[in-house]
Amino acid sequence: MAKGDAARWRVEPGVRVHLGKFDTRSTDGAPGAKAETEAGLHDLQVELGGLQERLYAEGERSVLVVLQAIDAGGKDGTIKHVFGGLNPASCKVVSFKVPSEEERSHDFLWRVHAKTPAKGEIVVFNRSHYEDVLIVRVHELVPETVWRPRYESINDFEANLSAAGTRIVKLYLHISKEEQAERFQARLDDPTKRWKFRKGDLDERARWDDYVAAFEEAISRTSTSAAPWYVVPADRKWYRNWAVSRILVETLADMDPQYPPAEDLTGVVVT
């Protein structure tokens, strides 16, 4: 992809990531303050919708978007505000829950491969195969000798998808621990959002440093030229939405999907 706005958030291959060095409240590159940036988001959404239509019409390539974040990082909000206006005929969201008994009887990528996008599609993973080097690591669900080799398996898997025509965009929505606390409290205070909060969220919050370490290594080990990671400052939701939209527009513009040539319609008349 050509260097553009998205380059400021992209993690280049081989870079060792230290998330503490990234400003979660950054608005770097935004077209202005909140109101101006939200106005700019509308234009990006129109552009993204046009690019999606061309990708669907071309029917030769696809896009896989991987969304990861610490709890309350904004995955659902991003899906609503960035992808909500796209044509659902060729844009799907897939959420990965605790593996079923059948899924556990296969390798960890088996259930993931079946959900990757077909030609012409955009598929968004709300959580993903990365849980198998994140929560599995933090909760010690399997030994390190099992989860550590998975970085290379993931890189090979994503390289194969890329070679088959799938452009992969991996987004880590980066919030601060203070912002997470505010969002948890907001859920508790709002009866319409209280359903989003579980007591277990506080147990996960107590493992904050462990999750940060797991994300740092996962991003560092698996940001490749074929499947780059982007660390998106996400404390400010309006900036997060603009940044993610900017990344996607640049990605699809770089792919430059084309409408297929029309048939020779000389002499055809609709009656």
Residues 50 and 53: their CA atoms lie apart, in Å, by 5
Per the CB < 8 A criterion, the answer to whether 175 and 70 are in contact is yes
Residue 187's Cα: distance from chain center in Å? 23
Rounded (5°) CA angle 78-47-238: 30
Classified as helix, coil or strand, 67 is: strand
Classified as helix, coil or strand, 226 is: coil
Domain residue extents for the chain: 5-255
The model carries a pTM of: 0.95
* Cross-strand pairs, 78: none
Per the CB < 8 A criterion, the answer to whether 56 and 86 are in contact is no
Report CA-CA distances (Å) from 117 to 157, 168, 239. 14, 10, 27
Per the CB < 8 A criterion, the answer to whether 160 and 168 are in contact is no
Amino acid at site 145: T
Per the CB < 8 A criterion, the answer to whether 51 and 249 are in contact is yes
Amino acid at site 160: N
Query: Quick count: other Cβ atoms within 10 Å of Cβ 165?
Result: 13
Residues 160 and 80: their CA atoms lie apart, in Å, by 29
Classified as helix, coil or strand, 197 is: coil
> Residue 76: is it exposed, middle or buried by C-beta count within 10 angstroms (0-12/13-18/19+)?
middle
Superfamily the domain 5-255 falls into: P-loop containing nucleotide triphosphate hydrolases (3.40.50.300)
Tell me, what DSSP letter sits at residue 236? S
> Residue 117: is it exposed, middle or buried by C-beta count within 10 angstroms (0-12/13-18/19+)?
buried
Q: What is the pLDDT along the chain (271 residues), one digit of tens a residue?
A: 334 789 999 999 999 999 999 999 999 999 999 999 999 999 999 999 999 999 999 999 999 999 999 999 999 999 999 999 999 999 999 999 999 999 999 999 999 999 999 999 999 999 999 999 999 999 999 999 999 999 999 999 999 999 999 999 999 999 999 999 999 999 999 999 999 999 999 999 999 999 999 999 999 999 999 999 999 999 999 999 999 999 999 999 999 999 999 888 888 999 8
Rounded (5°) CA angle 109-224-41: 95
Ordered alpha helix ranges (H), 98-256: 101-104, 110-113, 135-138, 144-147, 150-163, 177-189, 200-205, 208-222, 237-255
Q: Which two structure tokens, joined as six digits, stand for 28?
A: 């770097």
Q: What is the pLDDT of residue 124?
A: 98
